Structure 1
């Protein structure tokens, strides 16, 4: 809004609210209110003046931010990421872009949030408030990939994962932020690795700094070939950041039971911050640990890894063996080979001319794969429909559908009446399976973000879900449709037996969730492995038991 117009409207606003000004001139006894009115107007004018100045400061801040566009912050490489999601497949690129956007706009958001002018810019403020959530989720995604697949922090930092190379590289600030995030969520191995990388960079910057220059930004930019954004972050004092890294890092090493490393880092931090009482206490504690006076069981993130992560890791080993990627130990356990393939028409005249390409993966649980189930044009329709309304995915719980830390994706739902393609998919499923889709859940379309995954779960409901879940009966069968290929990771892992299915664009998995007596098939427990490289899109159609009574081929 034009500032002059905004000021004019605000100036007019107080008058209708001053009800005691009514009829002052007709009663002498009310003339005393004139003094109150004068005082009120003066205070409001002073306040208004401050608001206008704050608003002007905000405009100046926004203009300053715009003077350094995101393309410049990203070292002129923004054109590499425009036009197609295919250019945003590498997790390092994804993280760097999200964090640069946050780091650019967060000062503006904080300024607006503290200003009454923010009332006129609510939509902008709300959008900016989501930035830290996005940046935090991106860092958590990197940490999930680190933990699940054992990919070293140095590979993410340099953007090198097997044969996949990112266009961007992480800055020193990125390393410090991810290390801090790992510290906060107790991922001690990752915490140690990322802080060590940050320390190496900061030490190199300080060693190469000119003796007659106190401006660390110049040394940082020249010695490490970082852009001005990196330099501006570090120009306060690189030594302080190094001390911070030592301090956080020593605690991670302490939790891992690496006492000699922890002591060395704590002493280095004390040289930079000699008055830090917490560090002094920890030095004494570490010495007690080393002397055996105090016992502590070392903590490792691997102690708490879910079973499905081993399957996810093994599935990636197969993809990376040909790339000589040494960071993944090869498991001796081999995966079951898919053997039964045929053209399936289900005795349905509509499928005689173009039968489904069916591959039977397992007999127990019964699991089959339909190749070329969707056309590329149908996939494009689903993505186009979904993008505007994508929102954080939820899971069925005791209180209805709720958010959960085991699922990291965004999704949208579509009824058969929403689009001809959605209706066509339901009809096709009915022809292939003989199962009615009239009472099925709406088609869910989901997109996974940085390190996106879905922990081990069942599609059928049990005692742990709300009664409303069973309105149309339990989920009798699942159709999981892949809307994209995924270069690395993103497998669908089944825990019993241990197999992983690689996403194939246009293909679909089908399985039954219930036994003859209506109880759940426990062998259908499955998970979506974290996506390493690629963009994963899927669609789910969950078929309900009601309406299937005379057509459902019950499992024995």
Structure 2
């Protein structure tokens, strides 16, 4: 309130000072104090000053009302999220909207606040500025939504309405959210992917221009021309739109009004197999059965483990109830303190084509009693020696989190001598154990594209497979991937077991006849 009074006082003094400079000479000549009859003119002037001041006060009040009207809306959404933060942020639409709001909306609020009032709030904002999401964070959030859309073949209009892979959620996307994705794709030279998004928000001239540019790059000149003509109806003197319209008109004449058809690239069969597996549209081995493992170690004779065969080529099994809920929670809590970005790579500059989008932490097997207990359990499951195996890697996936197709074993022909010397000390990764620590509501399956296996994350279960043939050569059929998470928070823990130490546990045999 004190700040507002000071602001109003400064305004009054400024206006009076200006009035004195303009009318000083006439006031001296009139001698208003000497004649009551001359003073009504001063009343007229005061009326103008008061009206002008009232206009200023109205603007301040209007600004205050705008703040008052938006704060409950923003607070309602924030409090809704804080009731169950993990559940709220597990929905990728909420995650995108949160990052976009913090990256875009708050900078707009800053500009609105940066006027004679709100100096205290501006200082507060400057103190929090460093904690706000950056441009890269918004790009990652946009990329996650696009990755989900492409992998699961979802319709843009369904995603916007909060319908994700057949399920309707109490979430939706604002026009600003939609445009953020379209803009990200268009500027990332993914015009074909940008068009369906931008078409949903064509009321804005800048959107029309961006969408027209996408159509031009795809040689859809007639569509581009129609958009530009619509934009010129709103802004007839927009020079950029006019130049782009002229360019498009010339291109149509060159190609004789024929829209060139896109030539689709042949789709990689493995990518197709991967997406089909993520959607649950493939069939794995039919020769499967469940059994109790009594034999790997003597301890299992007393406490056998439930095993489900996933497939035979490669041989993959799923262990049930090998982690308790308390153990899973303790592992997740252990990792939360220092999760770091792990294995992020860009392909063609597009974040939705990154190799991996996760954060992870390496945890030693001797960290505490619980990790030692889990280590013994892996020994019981696999029968392998873990003395020289790698640390546990605990991973949490983000919005649309995924891990593209890869093999866990090392390809010695594609790594440098330094890395090869380090690997030689422990040998190759003979086997993998993948624990699921938390249920995932939608998506996030582990898939083996060459075999059609699809395994959905269920808390307490663990996958086990060998990465190498019996002669130590890598098994290419173990190519696998983590599908994008649609809704949920996916937590896993991986244990890669090395060859060193397995000499007497699993001796090498003759080369496999399957190779």
What TM-score does the superposition give when structure 2 sets the normalisation length?
A: 0.73
Residue of structure 2 in register with 1:449 after alignment: 398
| CA distance in structure 2 between the partners assigned to 1:514 and 1:364 by the alignment | 12
TM-superposed CA distance for 1:108, in Å, is 8.9
Residue of structure 2 in register with 1:35 after alignment: none
- SS of the residue corresponding to residue 267 of structure 1 reads helix
- SS of the residue corresponding to residue 384 of structure 2 reads coil
Which residues in structure 2 correspond to 1:488-503 (within 5 Å)? Answer: 488-503=442-457
Residue of structure 1 in register with 2:244 after alignment: 279
2:138 aligned to which of 115, 128, 135:
135
TM-superposed CA distance for 1:419, in Å, is 2.6
Residue of structure 2 in register with 1:78 after alignment: 79
Which residues in structure 2 correspond to 1:142-181 (within 5 Å)? Answer: 142-181=145-184
In structure 2, relative to structure 1, the CA distance for the partners of 1:447 and 1:509 (3 Å cut) is: same
In structure 2, relative to structure 1, the CA distance for the partners of 1:426 and 1:278 (3 Å cut) is: farther
Count of equivalent residues: 425
In structure 2, relative to structure 1, the CA distance for the partners of 1:153 and 1:280 (3 Å cut) is: same
In structure 2, relative to structure 1, the CA distance for the partners of 1:312 and 1:159 (3 Å cut) is: farther
Is it true that 1:436 corresponds to 2:440 in the alignment? Answer: no
**Cα RMSD after superposing both structures:** 3.5
In structure 2, relative to structure 1, the CA distance for the partners of 1:76 and 1:513 (3 Å cut) is: closer
CA contact (8 A) 1:408 1:454 kept: yes
Is it true that 1:336 corresponds to 2:285 in the alignment? Answer: yes
Is it true that 1:380 corresponds to 2:329 in the alignment? Answer: yes
| CA distance in structure 1 between the partners assigned to 2:66 and 2:371 by the alignment | 43
| CA distance in structure 2 between the partners assigned to 1:168 and 1:376 by the alignment | 30
| CA distance in structure 2 between the partners assigned to 1:499 and 1:289 by the alignment | 51
TM-superposed CA distance for 1:252, in Å, is 2.2
In structure 2, relative to structure 1, the CA distance for the partners of 1:286 and 1:480 (3 Å cut) is: farther
Q: CA offsets, 1:102-146, max 9 Å, x none?
A: 23544699999xxxxx9x999955433x43322221111001112
- SS of the residue corresponding to residue 291 of structure 1 reads coil
| CA distance in structure 2 between the partners assigned to 1:152 and 1:348 by the alignment | 50
TM-superposed CA distance for 1:540, in Å, is 0.5
Is it true that 1:196 corresponds to 2:166 in the alignment? Answer: no
In structure 2, relative to structure 1, the CA distance for the partners of 1:363 and 1:181 (3 Å cut) is: same
- SS of the residue corresponding to residue 191 of structure 1 reads helix
In structure 2, relative to structure 1, the CA distance for the partners of 1:418 and 1:307 (3 Å cut) is: farther
In structure 2, relative to structure 1, the CA distance for the partners of 1:449 and 1:256 (3 Å cut) is: same
**Unmatched 5+ stretches in structure 1:** 1-62, 113-117, 203-241, 319-330, 397-403
What TM-score does the superposition give when structure 1 sets the normalisation length?
A: 0.68
| CA distance in structure 2 between the partners assigned to 1:525 and 1:444 by the alignment | 19
TM-superposed CA distance for 1:258, in Å, is 3.5
TM-superposed CA distance for 1:309, in Å, is 4.5
1:254 aligned to which of 211, 216, 219:
216
**Unmatched 5+ stretches in structure 2:** 1-63, 115-121, 346-352
Q: CA offsets, 1:380-401, max 9 Å, x none?
A: 00111111211111279xxxxx
| CA distance in structure 1 between the partners assigned to 2:370 and 2:66 by the alignment | 43
CA contact (8 A) 1:311 1:499 kept: no
In structure 2, relative to structure 1, the CA distance for the partners of 1:270 and 1:254 (3 Å cut) is: same
In structure 2, relative to structure 1, the CA distance for the partners of 1:315 and 1:498 (3 Å cut) is: closer
In structure 2, relative to structure 1, the CA distance for the partners of 1:192 and 1:376 (3 Å cut) is: same
Residue of structure 2 in register with 1:38 after alignment: none
| CA distance in structure 2 between the partners assigned to 1:278 and 1:167 by the alignment | 43
| CA distance in structure 2 between the partners assigned to 1:534 and 1:125 by the alignment | 29
Is it true that 1:419 corresponds to 2:368 in the alignment? Answer: yes
